[in-house]
Amino acid sequence: MGEREYDASSYVPPAEVGEMELVHPKTFIGKYIWSQDAKVIAIQYVITATSIGLVALVLSLLMRLQLGFPNSLTLIDPSSYLQYVTMHGMIMVIYLLTALFLGGFGNYLIPLMCGARDMAFPYLNMLSYWVYLVSVLLLVVGFFLPGGSTGAGWTLYPPQAINPGTPGVDGGIILMLVSLAAFIIGFTMGGLNYVVTVLQARTRGMTLMRLPLTVWGIFMATVMALLAFPALLVAALMMLLDRLLGTSFFMPGMLSMGELSSHEGGSPLLFQHLFWFFGHPEVYIVALPAFGIVSDLIATHARKNIFGYRMMVWAIIIIGALSFVVWAHHMYVSGMNPYFGFLFATTTLVIAVPTAIKVYNWVLTLWRGNIHFTVPMLFAIGFLFTFVNGGLSGLFLGNVTVDVPLSDTYFVVGHFHMVMAVAPILVIFGAIYHWYPKVTGRMLNDTLGKIHFWVTFLGTYAIYYPMHFIGLEGVPRRYYAYGETTFISDSVQALNAGITIAAFIVAIAQVLFLFNLVWSYFRGRESGPNPWQANTLEWQTPHTPPRHGNFGEELPAVYRWPYDYSVPGAKHDFIPQNVPPEEVEYEESSKSGGRA
């Protein structure tokens, strides 16, 4: 037995806070619609986010159709193409990924993993979901307005976002901005809940350094979101005034369609700074929960303690802090002071250090582990590949001199889809396969899951790898058609067609996944309370799925960290967090060799 990180003690301090007040509803509506139970709210979040995410998926397919087989569908004209680009990006980043990780997984897992009966403020939590739903509905209404939704690109850069000629400038952009503001208000309500629950409502024995990394990732992402979303709110309000009242925060005086605009003296660069002050942390708001969840998936399915737990926690905190000082690396070509570029390139490369620590620790956790190739594990390993790939192309783009020629090309599209679209989505899939048994009491179908994984994982590479090459040729993104362009070689069209075919195959695999979700709910194998033999508290609930209040009569007490897998000498290869040291069973032969 070498020196290992180990934290267990038989002493558990007495409870500091009294029992939580729970409102137990009697009616169906109280239980499932206006629910204050974090688990039900989580499922509401997941269903809403997935539904709007499917819309964004269809939009991406329409875009691919136009790029791979130009003008094959008359429905897609240049302005609707721009609208697809915009809405696809906006929905995927904010309304799907942010809402799913924080609203979905955050709501379900934080109270269970911390050993709380519910979130600290259940009523506020319920409001959070309903405001989120309103923001999604506002977004959807935008599609049906005359002129359609906005086509300004998901970054909504002024002046073009509110200039005549951009699709959706009459109504779409207004609804977009209002919807964003609503999303931020709703998220703030939820986010306050997550933070307070993690900080103040843990069960006896649960120190911060005994929290599963999933909770750490979601917690830090929430803190970041609470500090980053204000910048987006301010930018949205200012742009709303520019559009509705004719103010000039962001709008310079300019000639538009042969006429002098009524705006004067605003600063478009100010918007970019505000937007990216939100936008860059947003990348990590999506990535950190994925980091946390994947750590737990890898440790559980490799039956081995996570390598360097403390380092993992500090890396999460440091990444969170650093991500607030890198935003202008999205703006190297914006015309800002060139010295900024140097500063932000440096901070950007510094952030690679804690990120690399995390990647090494995941790999070292796998090293000589007892790896079970279950579906969640496959997705977790898939994440490692796509994340490292996307991270490496990030090193290219973080350097000013390399970034300038690559700006706004398909290289950028390939990079960020690899690192912040596919990588977190793979973790979401893995997490769904992992926790579905706890949510429903039934296992997802394994064969369908493996098909889903391989098609998605390989399809990802088929889609995004070629984009890097296309981008190196200088093909700009967000273009409807390329026409006669000398610097683009003919083979690009062939690659584009291939990407489109791959995209459709991957999309079909997602239909398979949805089918699996529904089918397994009724016909899946019964899972029992702890099918993966995991240590964290959510697997130790008396009921599966857990009832309102989570833990029955008495809250569990926590005696150890969550990664006691394959402890030498122990009879089982896992020791749940709520098992006191004196109740751990040891193998007869090695009893003397076990720990005191």
Partner 1 sequence: MVNSTPRGPTQKSGWQGLVSDLASDQRAFKNVPWGKAMMWIFLLSDIFIFACFLVGYMTVRISTTEPWPDASEVFALHIGSRNVPLLLIAIMTFILISSSGTMALAVKFGYEKNRRATATLLILTALLGASFVGMQAFEWTKLIGEGVRPWGNPWGAAQFGASFFLITGFHGTHVSIGVIFLIIMSIKVLRGSLETGRPGFLTGRKGRYEMVETLGLYWHFVDLVWVFIFAFFYLW
Residues that bind partner 1 (CB under 8 A): 1, 3-4, 6-9, 11, 13, 15-17, 21, 23, 120-121, 123, 188, 191-193, 195-196, 199-209, 226-231, 233-235, 237-238, 241, 245-249, 262, 264-267, 270, 273-274, 277, 581, 595-596
Least Å distance between CB 18 and partner 1? 11
Token readout for 335 is 């015309």
327 secondary structure, DSSP code: G
Q: Supply the minimum distance, in Å, between the C-beta of residue 101 and partner 1.
A: 18
Nearer to partner 1, 9 or 51 (CB): 9
Closest approach, Cβ 337 to partner 1, in A, equals 13
Helices (H), 367-490: 375-398, 400-406, 410-416, 423-440, 446-472
Nearer to partner 1, 273 or 415 (CB): 273
Q: Which of 372, 357, 366, 521 is nearest to 442 (CA)?
A: 521
Q: Which residue, 9 or 485, is less far from partner 1 as judged by CB?
A: 9
Question: In this complex, which beta carbon is closest to partner 1, that of residue 94 or of residue 470?
Answer: 94
8 Å CB contact between 376 and 297: yes
Close Cβ partners of 80 (under 8 Å, ≥ 6 residues apart): 148, 151, 167
Measured from the CB atom, the residue of 182 and 228 that comes closer to partner 1 is: 228
Residue 101 to residues 105, 291, 424: CA-CA distances in angstroms? Answer: 5, 11, 9
CB nearer partner 1, residue 252 or residue 545: 252
CB of 551 to partner 1, least distance (A): 15
Q: How far is the CB of 302 from partner 1 (least distance, A)?
A: 22
**Least distance (Å) between residue 183 CB and partner 1:** 14
Quote the least distance from Cβ 122 to partner 1, whole Å.
Answer: 8
Q: Which ranges constitute the DSSP H helices of 35-171?
A: 38-68, 78-90, 107-114, 122-144
CA angle 482, 484, 487 (to 5 degrees): 85
Q: What Å distances lie between residue 493 and 378, 410, 458, 547, CA to CA? A: 33, 13, 21, 54
For residue 145, the minimal CB distance to partner 1 (Å) is 24
CB of 208 to partner 1, least distance (A): 4
Q: What is residue 253's DSSP assignment?
A: -
Taking the least distance from each CB to partner 1, the nearer of 544 and 578 is: 578
The nearer residue to partner 1, 146 or 338, going by C-beta atoms, is 338
Report yes or no: 246 and 347 within 8 Å, Cβ to Cβ.
Answer: no
CB-based contact 413:477 (threshold 8 Å): yes
HSE, side-chain direction, 13 A CA sphere, residue 471: 25
Nearer to partner 1 by Cβ, of 234 and 462: the residue is: 234
Residue 556 DSSP class: P
- Facing residues of 8 across strands? 560
Tokens of 241: 């005034």
